[in-house]
């Protein structure tokens, strides 16, 4: 038993090569967040500190660019990234299976357009939201059935879906644009949680996190199972607490915690729990890791596949509602025809979810979306051209996939 | 398919698991041509045959991993149908696959309970597949199963299977089959990747299973191992069974001859006519 407890530490010290260390790191729970967190810190550091410093040194006081880390910009950054993040969370689920969904943004577009039209016809807005969510699930479900039971590769099915749903969106919105003024729908993005409540929520989440961490540790010890290092638990709790509380304080400094973010983070928390702590989630990982093994232990592989695409449809519909709420309008270019799809897939992958299936988490998608959002926002602020934005995003994406590929190959390459 | 069953020294009056006339085709390949097979509780039945004889196919059919074209299955004298891995598991049939069938991205504990994770009580308002997994229970079970097998080199049940050696993986695959409630355990070449010491341990596990009144099927190409652990030996050739021998009444030479050329008196007419 002593060997069991100490084995991990010993192993950690023996691995000296950087790539090996990276691999070992990514195996751990918080380790999977480290690359994307570092990327985020680097980007924020560059736009928030390096550029203002440059301006200061060159005496450029005219348009001093120190606004990136201002509460106002952080608030906007979070709101800008919210739709990308919602889609990326959904896409993560199919990535876990080793599949891809290219139609998520188009699905979101159809749902948003439908929402706008339904609200115009006078249907109660809550009902309209529910209808749109069901439609989104159905759109994902159809694609999932084609992938699982007809056996068409998901790339092809969802590429066809992308085209078809783009066309469908144009059918629903012949003018390509529709204003959404409904107070309920606009309220999702406009409603702010009062400052005090925001802080209370943050403290409650932090407290629960700490409580569950310690309780798990205590239960492990009392059942004589191996325990994590003392400092690992503390670092985990403190980092988590720091992030949660500083985010809320920053948002409070400008406006307040928006309801939209609470909804996004709440649904992400729920999906994270489902994927990591339930038999269903376990089978997602199993199918992504080795579908034949999963089948042989009695997992209904096809049903799992279909359900994963349905979840993407669900998240796409929610993303569509969020988008309509935030922009106050539905336009073809904001969803189906624009860069939303690539940003969402990029966010999931940059977050650290493997394209090869079997590894990843929905929280990584949130962080990945922040990376993408920060890049766009920061480059905009520093006056970079659209061309620069595209090229930098491409480079970051390649970097993320390279990290994925390197940490994946566990065969002893030298 | 009439009188080919040459049961030399039939020991058990009624076997626990009996299959009759199993046929299986993979496209043009006739992998099983009406094979018969049986195993009793408290015995180790070795299944031997050349590469491609159909041993793994027969085991996979019994485990529900492959569907069969025709055949009859009896468990405890009752006619049963095995159409899926869940059917087999419900009947108490467990298997260690030749290719192990583990998920490399999951840890040891998760692999050991895959498909039958223990869930926490008190969540019965949710459907079973989205109730919270009792991960501590899962780890404790895994630790016990691994300790039973005495895999001393395995450091943690939270290690990802992808980072383990071939022998360790084999041990985990065996632990998975042995750990659950089962009456029939089938091991398809379980020692193929193992060193001498680990092979000995696996043979000990096999004997222990027999002593605990399991029906054990043991597939191997290693005659020494087979003669060490088995009580009876079924020889398979070209998807059909040649004969079943009592291990104490036969010799490795006789088995090898039966594997390669069938029974002496029928070797010319045996199974060469089908092609
Ligand atoms: N999935 C499959 N698809 C097509 N043919 C298959 C499949 N599985 C097995 N076969 C064929 O069925 C026959 C029997 O294969 P099987 O794996 O049962 O042999 P085996 O006795 O286990 O051999 P070995 O000792 O090499 O493991 C072979 O001719 C093989 O090519
Ligand atoms: Mg075989």
Does pLDDT of B25 surpass 90?
Answer: yes
Task: Give the per-residue pLDDT at A411.
Answer: 39
Q: Is the pLDDT of residue A138 over 90?
A: yes
Instruction: For residue A384, name the pLDDT band (cuts at 50, 70, 90).
Output: confident
A376: pLDDT confidence band, cut at 50, 70 and 90?
confident
What is the Å distance from ligand 2's center to B83 Cα?
Answer: 20
The whole-angstrom distance between B133's CA and the closest CA on chain A is 5
| Percent of chain A's residues with pLDDT above 70 | 89
Flag whether residue B180 sits within 8 Å of chain A, measured between CB atoms: no
Q: Which of B129, B132, B156 sits opposite A7 (nearest CB)?
A: B156
Per the model's pLDDT, the better-predicted residue between B266 and A146 turns out to be A146
* Amino acid B3: pLDDT: 38
Q: What mean pLDDT comes out for the span A227-239? A: 82
Whether A370 and A85 have beta carbons less than 8 Å apart is answered as yes
What CATH number does residue A89 fall under? 1.10.3470
- Cα–Cα distance for residue pair A65/A54, rounded to 1 Å: 9
Confidence of residue A23 (pLDDT cuts 50, 70, 90): low
Q: Which residue of chain B comes nearest to A217, CA vs CA?
A: B136
Whether residue B215 lies inside any domain: the answer is yes
pLDDT value at B269 more than 70: no
pLDDT digit string, tens, across residues A304-346: 999 999 999 999 999 999 999 999 999 988 887 778 998 999 9
Query: By the CB < 8 Å criterion, does B195 face chain A?
Result: no
Residue of B nearest to A290 (CA): B103
For testing the chain A interface, which of B57, B105, B175, B177 should be mutated: the one with the most A CBs within 10 Å?
B105
B153 inside domain: no
CA distances (Å), A63 to each of A9, A86, A378, B235, in order? Answer: 51, 34, 15, 87
Of the pLDDT bands very low, low, confident and very high (cuts 50, 70, 90), residue B111 is: very high
Q: Do A296 and B101 touch (CB under 8 A)?
A: yes
Flag whether residue B155 sits within 8 Å of chain A, measured between CB atoms.
yes
Residue A241, in any domain of the structure:
no
CATH of the domain at B61: 3.40.50.300
Q: Which helix (H) or strand (E) holds B138?
A: helix B135-149
- Tokens for B202? 């696996």
Instruction: Give the CA distances from residue A301 to residues A91, A97, A283, in Å, rounded to whole numbers and listed in that order.
Output: 18, 10, 8
Chain A residues close to B143, C-beta within 8 Å:
4, 225
Residue A86 has pLDDT above 70, yes or no: yes
Task: Give how many domains chain A has, as a whole number.
Answer: 1
Nearest CA to ligand 1 atom 3: B26
User: What is the pLDDT at residue A284?
Assistant: 96
Interchain proximity A297–B143, CB inside 8 Å: no
Q: What pTM, to 2 d.p., does this model score? A: 0.88
pLDDT tens readout for residues B183-223: 999 999 988 878 888 888 889 889 988 998 999 999 999 99
pLDDT number for residue A337: 75
Q: Is residue B249 part of a domain?
A: yes
Residues on chain A touching B85 (C-beta within 8 angstroms): 295-298
User: How many domains does the structure of chain B reveal?
Assistant: 1
What range does the domain containing A366 cover?
A: 38-47+63-194+256-406
Average pLDDT in chain B? 85
Give the per-residue pLDDT at A26.
60
Give residue B99's pLDDT.
Answer: 87
Closest CA to A402 of A341, A342, A349, A339: A349
- For residue B268, pLDDT beyond 50: no
Is 70 exceeded by the pLDDT of residue A11? Answer: no
Residue A10 is predicted with a pLDDT of: 39
Instruction: Collect all residues with Cβ–Cβ distance below 8 Å to A325 and sequence separation of at least 6.
Output: A180, A185, A186, A187, A188, A189, A190, A260
Pick A26 or A99 by higher pLDDT: A99
Tens digit of each residue's pLDDT (9 = 90 or more) over A262-279: 999 999 999 999 999 999
Residues with CB under 6 A from ligand 1: B 26, 29, 31, 49, 51-57, 98
Confidence at B171, pLDDT banded by 50, 70, 90:
confident
User: Tell me, what's the pLDDT at A413?
Assistant: 35
Predicted pLDDT at A244 = 93
* Candidate from A60-64, A70-74, A349-353 with smallest mean pLDDT: A60-64
Contact assessment for residue A90 and residue A316, using Cβ atoms and an 8 Å cutoff? yes
Residue A30 C-alpha, separation from nearest chain B C-alpha, in angstroms: 15
The pLDDT, as a whole number, for residue B266 is: 47
B160 assigned to some structural domain = no
Please give the number of the atom of ligand 1 that sits closest to the Cα of B189: 27
Is residue B33 helix, strand or coil?
strand
Rounded to an integer, the average pLDDT of B226-240 is: 93
Give mean pLDDT, residues A125-137. 96
Mean pLDDT, to the nearest integer, of A362-375?
93
ipTM of the complex: 0.84
Q: Do B103 and A294 touch (CB under 8 A)?
A: yes
Range of the domain at B216: 3-92+183-269
Does residue A73 sit within a domain? yes
Confirm whether A366 is domain-assigned: yes
Mean pLDDT computed over B158-166: 86
Per-residue model confidence (pLDDT) at position A66: 63
- So what's the pLDDT on residue A64? 60
Residues B117, A279: C-beta atoms closer than 8 Å: yes
**Span from the CA of B56 to the centroid of ligand 1 (angstroms):** 7
CA-proximal residue: ligand 1, atom 24 (nearest): B51
Q: What is the mean pLDDT of chain A?
A: 87
B139 and A228 in contact (C-beta within 8 Å)?
no
Partner residues linked to B80 by β-bridges: B73
- Segment A206-213 mean pLDDT: 94
- Give a yes or no: residue A120 inside a domain: yes
Cα–Cα distance measured from residue A328 to residue A178, given in angstroms and rounded to the nearest whole number: 9
Select from A95, A277, A412 the residue whose CB has the most chain B CBs within 10 Å, as the one to mutate to test that interface.
A277
| DSSP letter for each residue of B184-198 | EEEEESTTTT--HHH
The average pLDDT across A132-161 equals 96
For residue B98, what are the CA distances in angstroms to B91, B106, B186, B187, B189? 21, 19, 10, 8, 6
Category of B150 on φ-ψ map: left (φ > 0), alpha (ψ -120 to 50) or beta: left
Q: Which ligand is nearest to the CA of A292?
A: 1
Residue B165 lies in a domain: no
Which residues in chain B (56-95) have CB-CB distances under 8 A to chain A?
Answer: 63-65, 84-86, 89
Which ligand 1 atom minimizes the distance to the CA of B55? 21
From A119-128, A346-355, B75-84, B256-265, the region with the lowest mean pLDDT: B256-265
Of A225, A282, A293, the CB nearest to B133: A282
Q: Is residue B123 a part of any domain in this protein? A: no
Question: Hey, are the CB atoms on A290 and B65 less than 8 Å from each other?
Answer: no
Interface list for B 6-45 with A (CB within 8 A): none
* Residue A114, pLDDT score: 95
Inside any domain, residue A277: yes
- The set of residues, in sequence order, having a beta carbon less than 8 Å from that of A82 and lying 6+ positions away, is A260, A261, A264, A322, A326, A369
Atom number of ligand 1 nearest to Cα B24: 12
Contacts of B105 in chain A (CB under 8 A): 285, 288-290, 357-359
């Amino acid at each position: 038993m002593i060997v069991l407890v100490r084995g991990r530490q010993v192993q950690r010290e023996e691995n000296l090569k950087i790539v090996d260390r990276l691999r070992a790191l990514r195996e751990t729970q918080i380790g999977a967040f480290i690359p994307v967190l570092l990327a985020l810190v680097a980007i924020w550091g560059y736009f928030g500190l390096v550029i203002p410093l440059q301006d200061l040194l060159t005496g450029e006081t005219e348009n001093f660019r120190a606004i990136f880390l201002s509460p106002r910009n952080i608030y906007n950054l979070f709101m800008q990234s919210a739709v990308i993040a919602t889609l990326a969370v959904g896409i993560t689920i199919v990535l876990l299976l080793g599949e891809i969904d290219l139609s998520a943004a188009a699905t979101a577009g159809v749902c948003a357009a439908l929402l706008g039209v339904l609200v115009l016809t006078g249907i109660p807005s809550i009902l309209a939201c529910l209808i749109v969510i069901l439609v989104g699930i159905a759109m994902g479900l159809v694609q999932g059935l084609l992938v699982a039971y007809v056996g068409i590769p998901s790339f092809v099915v969802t590429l066809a879906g992308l085209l078809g749903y783009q066309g469908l969106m144009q059918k629903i919105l012949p003018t390509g644009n529709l204003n959404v003024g409904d107070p309920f729908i606009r309220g999702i993005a406009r409603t702010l949680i009062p400052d005090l409540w925001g802080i209370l929520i943050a403290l409650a989440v932090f407290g629960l996190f700490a409580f569950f961490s310690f309780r798990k540790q205590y239960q492990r010890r009392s059942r004589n199972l191996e325990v994590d290092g003392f400092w690992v638990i503390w670092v985990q709790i403190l980092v988590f607490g720091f992030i949660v509380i500083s985010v809320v304080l920053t948002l409070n400094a400008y406006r307040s915690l928006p309801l939209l973010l609470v909804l996004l983070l709440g649904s992400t928390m729920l999906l994270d729990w489902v994927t990591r702590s339930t038999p269903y989630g376990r089978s997602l990982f199993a199918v992504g890791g080795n579908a034949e093994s999963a089948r042989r232990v009695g997992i209904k592989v096809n049903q799992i596949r279909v359900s994963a695409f349905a979840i993407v449809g669900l998240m796409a519909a929610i993303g569509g509602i969020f988008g309509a709420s935030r922009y106050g309008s539905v336009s073809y270019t904001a969803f189906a025809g624009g860069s939303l799809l690539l940003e969402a897939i990029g966010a999931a992958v940059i977050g650290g979810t493997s394209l090869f299936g079997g590894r990843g988490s929905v929280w990584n998608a949130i962080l990945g979306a922040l990376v993408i959002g920060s890049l766009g926002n920061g480059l905009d602020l520093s006056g970079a051209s659209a061309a620069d934005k595209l090229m930098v995003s491409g480079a970051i994406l390649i970097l993320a996939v390279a990290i994925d590929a390197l940490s994946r190959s566990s065969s002893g390459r030298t | 398919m009439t009188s080919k069953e040459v049961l030399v020294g039939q020991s058990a009056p009624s076997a626990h698991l009996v299959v009759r006339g199993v046929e299986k085709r993979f496209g043009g390949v006739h992998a099983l041509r009406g094979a018969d097979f049986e195993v009793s509780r408290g015995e180790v039945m070795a299944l031997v045959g050349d590469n491609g004889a159909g041993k793994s196919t027969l085991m996979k059919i019994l485990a529900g991993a492959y569907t069969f074209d025709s055949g009859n299955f009896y468990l405890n004298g009752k006619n049963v149908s095995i159409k899926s891995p869940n059917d087999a598991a419900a009947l108490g049939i467990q298997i260690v696959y030749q290719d192990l069938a583990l998920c490399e991205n999951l840890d040891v504990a998760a692999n050991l309970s895959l498909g039958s994770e223990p869930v926490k009580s008190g969540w019965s308002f949710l459907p079973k597949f989205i109730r919270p997994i009792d991960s501590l229970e899962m780890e404790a079970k895994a630790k016990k199963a691994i300790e039973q097998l005495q895999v001393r080199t395995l450091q943690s049940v939270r290690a990802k299977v992808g980072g383990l050696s071939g022998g360790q993986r084999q041990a985990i695959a065996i632990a998975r089959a042995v750990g659950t409630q089962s009456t029939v355990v089938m091991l398809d070449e379980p020692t193929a990747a193992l060193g001498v010491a680990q092979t000995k341990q696996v043979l000990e596990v096999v004997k222990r299973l027999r002593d605990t009144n399991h029906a054990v099927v043991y597939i191997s190409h290693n005659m020494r191992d087979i003669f060490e652990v088995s009580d009876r030996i079924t020889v398979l050739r070209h998807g059909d069974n040649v004969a079943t021998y009592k291990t104490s009444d036969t010799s490795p030479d006789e088995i090898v001859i039966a594997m390669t050329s069938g029974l002496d008196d029928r070797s010319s007419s045996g199974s060469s006519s089908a092609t």
